Amino acid sequence: MILLSGSQRDYDVLAGKPGNGPAWSAEDVAAMHEFMAAWNNELVESGEFVDAQGLSAPVHARRIELRDGVPVVTDGPYAETQEVLAGYTIVECRSFDRATEIAARLANTPHPDRSGSGPEWYVDVRPIVEGVEELSI
């Protein structure tokens, strides 16, 4: 599974809302969508695509925590969390190294400017376990 991360700021920039950095133009957003569509289509054509979904902005999230035995619901976004899961792509390929190669191609994705706020961009690649026996380190 290729896990794409983002922040509320990223969602705001993509939606054209100015913040600490410049908002994206409609052309910038279209270029990002075009890139992602081409990337997904390549995976479909190679037979490696399984599923992909984007997730709503953190402002639309809820966290349920157990505190003193009672579930407590908190609406997002969460001040203590800078990055959240923004979306994912599941691929079925010959090896973990191949999944890493596929994910690395996303480095060319147009993305919001993050000058001075950590890495420019990143994704995580994690195998999906099919049973408890695969959980060992």
- Mean pLDDT across 63-84: 82
**What's residue 9's pLDDT?**
81
| Confidence (pLDDT) at 132 | 82
| Cβ atoms of residues 41 and 64 within 8 Å | no
CB–CB of 86/14 below 8 Å?
no
* Over residues 102-122, mean pLDDT: 76
Is residue 62 predicted with pLDDT exceeding 90? no
Instruction: Return all residues near 11 (Cβ < 8 A) that are at least 6 apart.
Output: 57, 58, 59, 86
Pairing label, strands 2-6, 123-125: antiparallel
Where exactly are the structural domains of the chain? 2-135
- Could you name the CATH architecture of 2-135? 2-Layer Sandwich (3.30)
Per-residue pLDDT, 84: 84
C-alpha span between 31 and 100 (Å, rounded): 23
